[in-house]
Amino acid sequence: MNQMEQLRKLTTVVADTGEIEAIKKYQPTDATTNPSLLLKASQVAEYRHLVEDAVAYAKANGGDEALLLDKLAVNFGVEILKYVAGRVSTEVDARLSFNTAETVRRALRIIKLYEEAGISKDRVLIKIASTWEGIMAAKELEAQGIKCNMTLLFSFAQAVACAEIGAQLISPFVGRILDWYKKDTGLTYTEETDPGVLSVTKIFNYYKKNGHKTEVMGASFRNIGEILGLAGCDLLTISPNLLDELRASEAVVEQKLSAEKAQVEGDDKIEMNEGVFRWMMNEDAMATEKLSEGIRNFAKDTRTLEAYIREQFM
């Protein structure tokens, strides 16, 4: 078996792409998109009809640009769900990352749009940035039976808070953690010392030891060493180029994470509240910087997508 086939026996593989052809090729269980991936996919000719439909829908329902973006994200999600057996993650506008009420409102609308298209909410994860406000929005949504994928997650504090409110899934950004430490320290890291891999391992062990049901999905990988270092994680979302590398190798994949090991290696439960969360984030320069940067970049790509649609379709 190649490494991707071996990995699938240990971990649910998710395609980190908005391109339908890539999803058809790799046949992942789940798929996840974000504003950057939607911006890229919207510029592909074969998906033009998905953009045109979103524009027409928004015009027919008041012409609201925010509605257009939500409908576009849902259109891609509906198309993706034709080729995956599981779930698709659809992101709330990153510019709402510090607005709990509006995040909830937009999430509910996204679910309504999916239901209009004949897709049950069970097949959708709402992606929300792991700010305190985003986590509180997820708490409200989960209470209504709407499952959330907490994204832009870089710290143990974020992970604990997400588990405490019962989020369905978290997406710790492995590669971006590594990027920060490489820049900050100037050091070279191995699979064993990679700070992103170590961070996700700590979170996974904590969840399993303390009985948290929140799923851990490693994301934002820079190389297959990071992926293999997390073999056994609940889910891993992997870009097409790294999926190709895994398919091209038949080297043995060793399970690195397990619920059994977590009982020995996991930290004891800590109590989380807003004050603890904000202090732990304040003390973590990497997480604070990468969360802010991630929100800014997703917001920038959303603005670019809006401008592209206005120029090409309006």
N-to-C CA span, the chain = 49
Name the maximum alpha-carbon separation found in the chain: 58
* Alpha-carbon span 105 to 116, nearest angstrom: 17
C-alpha distances (whole Å) from 180 to each of 187, 198, 202, 229, 295 are 11, 14, 18, 19, 16
* Alpha-carbon span 174 to 227, nearest angstrom: 9
* Alpha-carbon span 224 to 15, nearest angstrom: 14
* Alpha-carbon span 297 to 146, nearest angstrom: 26
Query: Which residue of the set 71, 121, 127, 147 is catalytic?
Result: 127
* Residue 127 known to be catalytic: yes
* Alpha-carbon span 97 to 144, nearest angstrom: 20
Q: Which two tokens stand for residue 133?
A: 């406000």
C-alpha distances (whole Å) from 107 to each of 56, 116, 120, 151, 253 are 21, 14, 14, 14, 38
Q: Give the catalytic positions in this structure.
A: 127
